Amino acid sequence: MNGIVLQGVAFAVAGKPILHGISLDLQEQRIGIVGRNGSGKTTLLRLMAGLVAPTAGTVRLGGVDPAKDRRAALAAVGILFQNPDHQIIFPTVAEELAFGLVQQGLSRSEAAARVCAALEAEGRGDWAGQPVQALSQGQKQWLCLMAILLMAPGTILLDEPFAALDLPLQIRLTRRLAALPQRLVTISHDPAAVAGCDRVIWLEAGRVAMDGAATPVLAAFRAEMERIGGTDADADLAG
Ligand SMILES: Nc1ncnc2c1ncn2[C@@H]1O[C@H](COP(=O)(O)OP(=O)(O)OP(=O)(O)O)[C@@H](O)[C@H]1O
């Protein structure tokens, strides 16, 4: 009941098919999704979060349809977008962090108190009134993750979380994520980023090409990526 279950999920935009007949029962704690650019990874994550509804099939998160029951979805799942600039909507750190809590039903003063305590606990109490635009990409990524953690969802969906981060920030974020009790679903086109997952799903042109333990799936994925990389033309570009 508490996992992510997709049955016969298809998704199309303006008649263009993007995902085809995807059925997955995801109960593991650490799940990786790999695939080439345009293979449908972000679209799949958006469906899991209920940000879009499938054009066919069903998505259930902890037993509920996250596209229909938005309040339940807000409590159950958080999504960290590839680009923090697509996620941040408020001018200051404190306002950005408080937004999700208010959406979940806290009063503004309760939310402000929780934000203050969380920033203090992170040793960043002085950040509350800071303008978000003064933060670096890595700091914005941290802010988005903090906003999700404050909402305490059971599942966190991460879309290329390391893409904009330098090596020390990647190491710190990896450590932080590894310690979380939540179920994590991490998208990457870098096999190394999901090598420690309990299960890895390889998407190819909107279909599941392989699904299983990280080692065999990533070995097959890497071999295929190297084969494609060895050719000059890219006539079979996914999407
Ligand atoms: N709203 C949309 N309108 C039209 N096409 C879309 C839309 N959203 C996604 N697509 C197309 O669907 C395909 C899959 O996109 P998606 O972003 O899910 O892939 P991805 O695997 O996450 O890619 P990347 O690794 O480049 O981020 C692409 O061909 C993309 O152009």
Residue 30 has pLDDT above 60, yes or no: yes
From residue 95, give the alpha-carbon distance in Å to each of 87, 104, 115: 13, 15, 9
pLDDT value for 117: 93
Ligand 1 centroid to residue 54 C-alpha, Å: 14
Pocket perturbation via mutation, ligand 1, pick of 20, 22, 41, 160 by most ligand atoms within 8 A of CB? 41
Ligand 1 centroid–CA 47 distance in Å is 13
- Taking CA 78 as the corner, what is the angle to CA 86 and CA 98, rounded to the nearest 5 degrees? 75
Q: What percent of the chain has pLDDT over 90?
A: 63
**Could you report the per-residue pLDDT of 57-69, keeping only the tens digit for each?**
999 998 999 999 9
Of 111, 110, 118, 107, nearest to 146 by C-alpha is 118
Query: How confident is the model over 125-166, as pLDDT tens digits?
Result: 888 898 998 988 888 888 998 899 899 899 999 998 887 778
Ligand 1 atom 7, closest CA:
13
Is the distance from the beta carbon of residue 239 to the nearest atom of ligand 1 less than 6 Å? yes
Max mean pLDDT among 68-82, 106-120, 163-177, 221-235 falls in: 106-120
From CA 111, how far away is CA 98, in angstroms rounded?
Answer: 5
Query: Ligand 1: which residue has its CA nearest to atom 16?
Result: 40
**Are 24 and 201 in contact, with CB atoms under 8 Å apart?**
yes
Q: Provide the CB-side half-sphere exposure for 199 (13 A, CA).
A: 14
> How far apart are the C-alpha atoms of 182 and 86, rounded to whole Å?
23
In the 8-state DSSP scheme, what is residue 92?
A: B
pLDDT value at position 237?
54
Rounded to two decimals, what is the model's pTM? 0.89
pLDDT at residue 141 in the model? 86
Query: 186 CB less than 6 Å from ligand 1?
Result: no
The token duo for 106 is 């806290």
Please answer whether residues 88 and 96 qualify as being in contact, where contact means their C-beta atoms are separated by less than 8 angstroms.
yes
CB 24 within 8 A of CB 45: no
Q: What is the CATH number of domain 4-91+131-229?
A: 3.40.50.300
Closest CA to 196 of 20, 54, 11, 28: 28
What pLDDT score does 180 carry?
92
Q: Is the CB of 41 under 6 A from ligand 1?
A: yes
What CA–CA distance (Å, rounded) separates 109 from 102?
Answer: 9
Q: What is the mean pLDDT of residues 17-34?
A: 96
Please, which pLDDT band fits residue 1 given cuts at 50, 70 and 90? low
- Tell which phi-psi region holds residue 182, choosing left (phi > 0), alpha (psi between -120 and 50) or beta: beta
Is any ligand 1 atom within 6 A of the Cβ of residue 39? yes
Which pLDDT does position 169 carry in this prediction? 78
Q: Where are the domains of the chain?
A: 4-91+131-229
Q: Is the pLDDT of residue 114 over 80?
A: yes
Name the residue with the closest Cα to ligand 1, atom 29. Answer: 239
Is residue 173 within 8 A of residue 141, CB to CB? The reply is yes
Q: Residues of the chain with pLDDT > 70: what percent?
A: 97
Under the banding of pLDDT at 50, 70 and 90, the label for residue 235 is low
pLDDT, residue 150, reads 92
Q: Distance from the CA of 189 to the center of ligand 1, in angstroms?
A: 14
Q: Is 188 in the pocket of ligand 1 (CB under 6 A)?
A: no
Give the residue whose CA is nearest to atom 30 of ligand 1. 38
**DSSP E strand boundaries for 14-165:** 16-26, 30-35, 56-61, 77-80, 155-159
Assess whether pLDDT exceeds 70 at residue 234: no
Predicted confidence (pLDDT) per residue in 186-211, tens digit? 999 889 989 999 999 999 999 999 99
Residue 238 has pLDDT above 70, yes or no: no
What the block records as the tokens of 107 is 């009063």
State in Å: Cα 211 to ligand 1 middle.
Answer: 21
pLDDT of residue 230: 86
